[in-house]
Structure 1
Amino acid sequence: MKQIVKNLTHAFRRFKMANVLNIVGLSISFASFIVIMMQVSYDYNFDKGIKGYEHIYRVDIVHGGGQKQAVISRPFAELIFKSSPRIEAGAISNPFFGGELFFGIDKAGVISYYKEKSIFVSPSFTNVFHFDIVEGEKDVLNEPDKVLVPKSMAEKLFGSETALDRQLKLSGKNIYTIGGVYRDFPRNSSLQNCIYIAMPENENVNNWGNWNYNVYIRLNGNNPVDTTLLNDNFRKNLPEDLNIDFSKGSLQFTQLPDLHYTTDVLYDNSPKSSRQTIAVLFAIAFVIVIIAAVNFMNFSVAQTPMRIKGINTQKVLGATDTGLRLSLLAEAILISVLAYLLSLALVFLVSRSPVADMVDMDIALRSYPVLIGMTAALAILTGILSGLYPAYYITSFPPAVVLKGSFGLSPKGRKLRNMLIGFQFVISLVLMMVAGFMYLQNRFMQDSPLGYDKDALIVTDINNNINQSRDVFTEELHSFSGIEGVAYAQFLLSSSEQYMGWGREYRGKNIQYQCLPVDPDFLEVMGIDVVEGRGFRESDKDTENGVYVFNEKARSDYDLELNHRIDDAEIVGFIPDIKFASFRTEMAPMAFYVWGTQNWGRSANYAYVRVKAGSNLGAALQHVKEVLDSIDPDYPFHVRFYDEVLNQLYEKEQKISALITLFSLIAIILSMVGVFGLVIFESEYRRKETGIRKVLGSSVGEILALLNKTYLITLSVCFVIAIPIASFAVIKWLENFVFRTPIYWWVFVLAGLAVLLITLVTISWQSWRAATANPVDSLKTE
């Protein structure tokens, strides 16, 4: 071991650049591997941190035409729960209500205000999902006005004091009492760490047409779910007088972890990823390590001309080939282990850098002991595999030949190195092409026409105080000359996958559409054109049942006609198919709706403020904040420009795209470092040839062309190979989006030109040094 360390120290002193590049390259690759695998683990194990996840399913409806939806009416849910003895427990949640709860807490006579996430669920929710209770009882949702809060929120609100029986005071006289505190669910979980509130016991209990609930069941036993039997039992229990034809429909049972990858279901608000993205990240993680290992091998081989005399001198003095090879292999392993230890420090630094914002999980080494151990084993394996060939190659030359001052370059060795360099080129090209299309898809989603005017638009959430003073609020906003119009709506347009789903009867058949309640000024403020009929009028609020304006998709799917009625609400107009949801989902039937006098919902949740062209947007935003503060100074309103809404909607894609782009660049840089290592080897091996050519009259340009020709030919072949590989990967990834960017040919060309430019810069510098060297220095040993 002492001799190995001595040899390694000597090698570091003599070949500083090569060894520094080796250690830096390997440490970056191991750090990249750890960070990427953290993200892969986050998505792969999504929802698997919930106890008993393998027995929990969400129940979706599959309509006769194949369309799926994640929301079901409450009476349907109750029938599902009773349909089989295998269903141990069932529960529902309402994804459209709850949101952020604004409340006050009395602390020694002083009211402190908070705004926290909440969700309404049935009391049986804690029977389906395991809540690890640290204070109180899990069944408190059966008690009136009792709620469950996560431990992190309890500590935020009350510090080290107990949260049990503390009161959350809402506006008016409403009060919730904390009946239980549960241990936080993992970050990679569909269950939110929020306030869980029991929905009213009789809410829509007999309303078959109100499709607003996600339905979950827990099955007993370990056998796979028999969906056919569950569907048959469900149909048998349907009331005969039910005005819904379910003969062609069915129930779909999706196991909890699979929800993370399910993208073909309407009204599905569970967090999403794609198996293709996980596969891409997984591949990149190993590709980066492989590239670094290849580079390690290349630099070791590149040192052959400089180390070969010393190695063979040891042979003459009695050293065996086996002993020398084991010594060189041990050097490689030590370098790899040293790089691994450095990579742990790099991961720690990454956790405190902007890169941490690109991933969903917490970058903390202590949270991934298995991954850290696996990477250590990978580092040792990398050292072994990367050191085997150079150790064999350097010791393969006869001492007599080497000590005369020359050695050979075997055709097989040269072919292997060209194959390795080709592998690096293909990977670099594929990653750059894929990263290019990911960027274009993100741009496409953000910049494509939405069917309404999103520019110069400010949005803010509003509360009950603003709703009660809406006329005053609107008037105060218009006191700023730059404000052109103000509109109100229940939902924030283009902020979600789907919205409130309504099932209604039209001409004797049941129709399903997404309903977005708005005020009469909404279409005008948003710049949405009416293609037939009319827009909303102020007088529509005074009708008994309100009025609809549907999109073209709804009209074509259900043969809707102007002036016809749906549950006594008149259809007054049609608009184009605007992008009211995300680009991940298909265009769905939808309607804007103005409430009538007999409807249950008249309050808005959001205000849309249109700013005049040429006005100061910053001043307008500040004015909106000041007006809100003057009406309700305690409430933390979220005022922002509309572009921020779209950025948040596609935040996941932007993060993954940035992550893949970053590590693609790392892979490309590492590949070029490998090319640099081989160029060093080639130039050292061909020094005498270069010197002879110069003596015989070859110019520097001719020598540069000769030295670069092999790499350019290899790159051209790799470019042709990379195109179909990248195309396949891009097409599979784009399948996650209904609306997607075209496959532009110029992206492939630009990627090829970028890698070509990097390659030319890399190889030309070393080749130029060889081409301009004094031929006397390379020929004097002959």
Structure 2
Amino acid sequence: MKTILRNLLGVLRRFKFAALLNMLGLSVAFTAFMVIMMQWYYDQSFDTSHPQGDCIFRVENAYEGGAGVVICRPLSDAFAQSSPHIKALALCNPWMGEIFFTVNDANGVKSYKEPIVMTYPSITQVFHFDMVEGSDDVLQAPDKILIPESIARKLFGNESALNKLLKTDFQTLTVGGVYKDFPKNTSLNNPIYLQMGDENLHAWENWNYTCYVRLDKPESREGLFANFKKNFTATGEGASLEGRELRLTPIKDLHFVTDTTYDHTPKASKQALLVLFAIAIVIVIIAGINFTNFSTALTPMRIKSINTQKVLGSEEKMIRLSLIAEAVIISLLSFVCSLGLLYSLQYSFLASLVDADLSISVHPVLISITAVLALLTGLLAGLYPSYYMTSFPPALVLKGSFGLSPTGRQLRNVLISIQFIASFSLVIGSLFMYLQNYYMQHTPLGYEKDEIIVTNLSKEIKDSQEAFANQLKSYSGITAVAFAEPLLSSSDQYMGWGRSYRDKEINFQCLPVDYQFLEVMGVEIKEGRNFREEDKNTQEGVYIFNQKAKESYDLAIGERIEGAEIIGFMPDVKFASFRTEVSPMAFFVWGTRNWGTKANFAYIKVSKGVDLGDAMQHVRATLKSMDPEYPFNIRFFNEVLNSLYEKELNLSSLITLFSLIAIFISMVGVFGLVVFDSEYRKKEIGVRKVLGSTTGQIIVMFNKSYVRILIICFVLAAPIAGYSISRWLENFAYKVPMYWWVYAVAFVLISFITVVTVTFQNWRAANENPVNSIKSE
């Protein structure tokens, strides 16, 4: 062991910089591998924590090409009774969002806003609720609620939460039970649960609910709906299964299903996960190759020492084991350093880019796997060099020409080619991801998105909209205020309406707004007129449809849809995300027969050139003066778009970051090879200088071989990267073209970094006194 440590210290002392770069490369690679695999496992294990999870399914309304995840209540109730294989069914209303409530404690009244879901009491029979306090059957009572442990601690600290009261605008709720929070990577999201009551009990036309069932066994879903449809007896107005199909999707697949509408489940792309997994493996391989290159490149410098050990009686086997042990020790030391890097990343910006918990204690299996990987990396990186170093005859040892041998060149060229192929692929991929995200954020949407402030509204503000708007406009920089039920461009889909028009059924997404909305948002009217204040005095309200709806249903101005008049048409504004194609939609102003809700959001237009910070401060002050307790979410409209594409932005940032890491590690490998290549060729450089070669000519000579490798690697990497990124872009209905210049930029970038690295290192060797170089040989 002493000999191993002595040799290791000798190598580290002699080649300090190269050894430091290699250890840094390995440490960063192991850290990147662990971070990526934490995120990969987070997504792969989504909704797998539920006991009997393989028997839990979401019931979806299937149609050609996909399914809607909303269902009507009477259909779900009839389905629940249709088969003994259905052990429990839970219906949820996912549209309530957050509720505002107050809690009394020793310090007075405190206000909170937390997510709430109205559901059937049987939700605790479909999913297992691990109770901290109380019973899981409390939802049988209409005023009792189930709350997660995280909210209980937030509201009541370490006190018992049982029987504590939450006072809302519509009723006083009593905490009947506290459940242990579900993991972050589940569809349930840890809201407050409240009994649904009798709403829409027989409303076949109201498709507004999410339905889950637990079966006796996974195989029972086959033929379940066919049997239900065969024995179904219609009761109630509109009760019919004609033309309908139900689809049962396993809960573990919900995270990856992309052909659904009105789906609130957090999504991940399997293609993106494969890309992340590949990057994790590639980064470790690149670092391992660098390490192998480093060990192999030391051969000419260490071969005389090894030959001396042989002469002094050391066994070849022991020398090899010693060399392998050195590599393993360096790799394991790098792994230990990577744990320190991983710990520090928990408090860096990187933690916000991943959904997974980066804590070391949460991932003991992954940490153990990475330790084994570090051990294997050391073994593999040391195995070939150790056998190669001990296999030379004394004549070659004295000659010291390994560095220029065809075998040595071939090995190094193959290894560095793998690094270049990976670097090209990652750069091309990250550039296209950046372009797609930029396209989604900056492409014209058909309405104004700059100088707009949006805020949610409390009941107090909803009841005093005119006073609120007037107080806002007392600030000279605010020119107009509009109100709407939805938050534009915050979702993939919005409220869907089915209506009768010219004796046929039409379906469109409806966004109720006030009469000023289109003017404030700068939406163009192509045909007809804009909304007017008197439109709210009509009985049924008025529509302005997009071109897609007009063309799909042959709509005409002046026609009525169940009493509501069509008054205009607008271009196909991008009201939803770029993940979905523009569909038939309408902005709608409610009439006097208003069964909808009051506006949920205010859109505040700020004049160009006005200090947006001052305008934002005025909005905050106005809201606080009218309702000081309510937690308003005030933001610029651009932040809404950023939130909509947060997953894509984070993924793009991650891949870009890890691409840079891969490039860094690859350049470390190039640097190491160039360092030792220049050492091998000192005599050649000296001879060329004596024969009249200039420094520039020698540098060009060194760069030529690397440029040839770069060209070959680029030709191999371009189609791989192009195929991978085209698959990722399939997740978007609107996407950037496969620009040729992206490939050119990637080639120029990697080539520039490589040429600069080679030139920098060989400048000194090319400028040395040729006499010294020749003498040294």
TM-score, structure 2 as length reference: 0.97
| 1:202 aligned to which of 189, 194, 198 | 198
User: Which structure 2 residues correspond to residues 152-191 of structure 1 after superposition, within 5 A?
Assistant: 152-171=150-169, 174-191=171-188
| 1:696 aligned to which of 684, 691, 696 | 691
Question: 2-side partners of 1:198 and 1:236: how far apart?
Answer: 30
Which shows bigger deviation, 466-475 or 495-504? 495-504
| 2:510 aligned to which of 507, 511, 515 | 515
The residue type paired with residue 639 of structure 1 is I
Question: 2-side partners of 1:60 and 1:369: how far apart?
Answer: 38
Matched-pair contact (CA < 8 Å) for 1:244–1:510: no
| Structure 2 residue 739 is matched with structure 1 residue 744 | yes
Matched-pair contact (CA < 8 Å) for 1:309–1:402: yes
Question: 2-side partners of 1:325 and 1:372: how far apart?
Answer: 29
* Cα deviation code 1:364-385 (max 9, x no counterpart): 0100011001001100110111
Question: 1-side partners of 2:165 and 2:688: how far apart?
Answer: 89
Matched-pair contact (CA < 8 Å) for 1:595–1:602: no
Matched-pair contact (CA < 8 Å) for 1:58–1:217: yes
* Cα deviation code 1:532-568 (max 9, x no counterpart): 2322222222222222222222233333333333332
Q: Per-residue deviation at 1:73?
A: 1.6
Match of 1:81 in 2: 80
* Cα deviation code 1:187-234 (max 9, x no counterpart): 1111112211222x22112212211111111111242631x4423423
Question: 2-side partners of 1:89 and 1:302: how far apart?
Answer: 66
1:235/1:438 Cα in 2 relative to 1: closer, same or farther (>3 Å)? farther
The residue type paired with residue 211 of structure 2 is V
Q: Per-residue deviation at 1:145?
A: 1.4
Matched-pair contact (CA < 8 Å) for 1:405–1:781: no
Matched-pair contact (CA < 8 Å) for 1:533–1:572: yes
User: Which structure 2 residues correspond to residues 308-327 of structure 1 after superposition, within 5 A?
Assistant: 308-327=303-322
Which shows bigger deviation, 271-280 or 233-242? 233-242
Match of 1:392 in 2: 387
Question: 2-side partners of 1:744 and 1:242: how far apart?
Answer: 55
The residue type paired with residue 170 of structure 1 is T
Which shows bigger deviation, 470-479 or 31-40? 470-479
1:258/1:365 Cα in 2 relative to 1: closer, same or farther (>3 Å)? same
1:238/1:21 Cα in 2 relative to 1: closer, same or farther (>3 Å)? farther
| Structure 2 residue 417 is matched with structure 1 residue 419 | no
| Structure 2 residue 533 is matched with structure 1 residue 538 | yes
Cα RMSD for the two superposed structures: 1.8
Which shows bigger deviation, 280-289 or 403-412? 403-412
| Structure 2 residue 212 is matched with structure 1 residue 213 | no
Q: 5+ unaligned residues in a row in structure 2: which ranges?
A: none
User: Which structure 2 residues correspond to residues 109-508 of structure 1 after superposition, within 5 A?
Assistant: 110-171=108-169, 174-199=171-196, 201-223=197-219, 225-226=221-222, 228-234=223-229, 236-237=231-232, 239=234, 243=238, 246-403=241-398, 406-407=401-402, 409-508=404-503
Question: 1-side partners of 2:674 and 2:220: how far apart?
Answer: 58
Question: 2-side partners of 1:342 and 1:213: how far apart?
Answer: 50
Secondary structure of 1:115's counterpart equals strand
Match of 2:98 in 1: 100
* Cα deviation code 1:74-110 (max 9, x no counterpart): 22222322333222111121222x2121111111261
Matched-pair contact (CA < 8 Å) for 1:708–1:767: no
Q: Per-residue deviation at 1:120?
A: 2.0
Q: Per-residue deviation at 1:329?
A: 0.6
Matched-pair contact (CA < 8 Å) for 2:300–2:400: no
Match of 1:68 in 2: 67
Secondary structure of 1:217's counterpart equals strand
Question: 1-side partners of 2:316 and 2:381: how far apart?
Answer: 18
Match of 1:58 in 2: 58
Q: Per-residue deviation at 1:440?
A: 0.6
Match of 2:624 in 1: 629
1:408/1:259 Cα in 2 relative to 1: closer, same or farther (>3 Å)? closer
Question: 2-side partners of 1:205 and 1:564: how far apart?
Answer: 33
Q: 5+ unaligned residues in a row in structure 1: which ranges?
A: none
Q: Per-residue deviation at 1:391?
A: 1.1
| Structure 2 residue 551 is matched with structure 1 residue 556 | yes
Matched-pair contact (CA < 8 Å) for 1:301–1:681: no
* Cα deviation code 1:618-662 (max 9, x no counterpart): 222111111111111111111111011111111111111111111
Q: Per-residue deviation at 1:466?
A: 0.5
Question: 2-side partners of 1:319 and 1:352: how far apart?
Answer: 50
* Cα deviation code 1:13-56 (max 9, x no counterpart): 22222221221111111011111100101111111122222111
Match of 2:5 in 1: 5
Q: What is the identity percentage for the equivalent residue pairs of Structure 1 and Structure 2?
A: 54
The residue type paired with residue 760 of structure 1 is V
Matched-pair contact (CA < 8 Å) for 2:205–2:238: no
* Cα deviation code 1:380-425 (max 9, x no counterpart): 1101111112112222221243235555643233212111111111
* Cα deviation code 1:109-146 (max 9, x no counterpart): 61011111222222222222221111111121120111
The residue type paired with residue 198 of structure 2 is N
Q: Per-residue deviation at 1:248?
A: 4.0
Question: 2-side partners of 1:572 and 1:103: how far apart?
Answer: 40
Question: 2-side partners of 1:556 and 1:619: how far apart?
Answer: 44
Which shows bigger deviation, 527-536 or 292-301? 527-536
Matched-pair contact (CA < 8 Å) for 1:140–1:146: yes
Question: 2-side partners of 1:244 and 1:204: how far apart?
Answer: 13
Secondary structure of 1:714's counterpart equals helix
Question: 1-side partners of 2:597 and 2:532: how far apart?
Answer: 16
| Structure 2 residue 86 is matched with structure 1 residue 91 | no
Which shows bigger deviation, 77-86 or 492-501? 77-86
Question: 2-side partners of 1:174 and 1:405: how far apart?
Answer: 88
Secondary structure of 1:344's counterpart equals helix
Which shows bigger deviation, 320-329 or 398-407? 398-407
Question: 2-side partners of 1:599 and 1:446: how far apart?
Answer: 35
Secondary structure of 2:737's counterpart equals coil
1:164/1:115 Cα in 2 relative to 1: closer, same or farther (>3 Å)? same
Matched-pair contact (CA < 8 Å) for 1:431–1:664: yes
Matched-pair contact (CA < 8 Å) for 1:302–1:678: yes
1:26/1:483 Cα in 2 relative to 1: closer, same or farther (>3 Å)? same
Question: 2-side partners of 1:588 and 1:236: how far apart?
Answer: 35
Q: Per-residue deviation at 1:337?
A: 0.8
Question: 2-side partners of 1:255 and 1:506: how far apart?
Answer: 37
Question: 2-side partners of 1:245 and 1:131: how far apart?
Answer: 35
Match of 1:48 in 2: 48
Count of residues in Structure 1 that have an aligned counterpart in Structure 2: 777
Match of 1:19 in 2: 19
Q: Per-residue deviation at 1:305?
A: 2.4
Secondary structure of 1:780's counterpart equals helix
1:304/1:312 Cα in 2 relative to 1: closer, same or farther (>3 Å)? same
Question: 2-side partners of 1:556 and 1:90: how far apart?
Answer: 41
User: Which structure 2 residues correspond to residues 602-613 of structure 1 after superposition, within 5 A?
Assistant: 602-613=597-608
Secondary structure of 1:581's counterpart equals coil
Match of 2:701 in 1: 706
Secondary structure of 1:89's counterpart equals strand
TM-score, structure 1 as length reference: 0.96
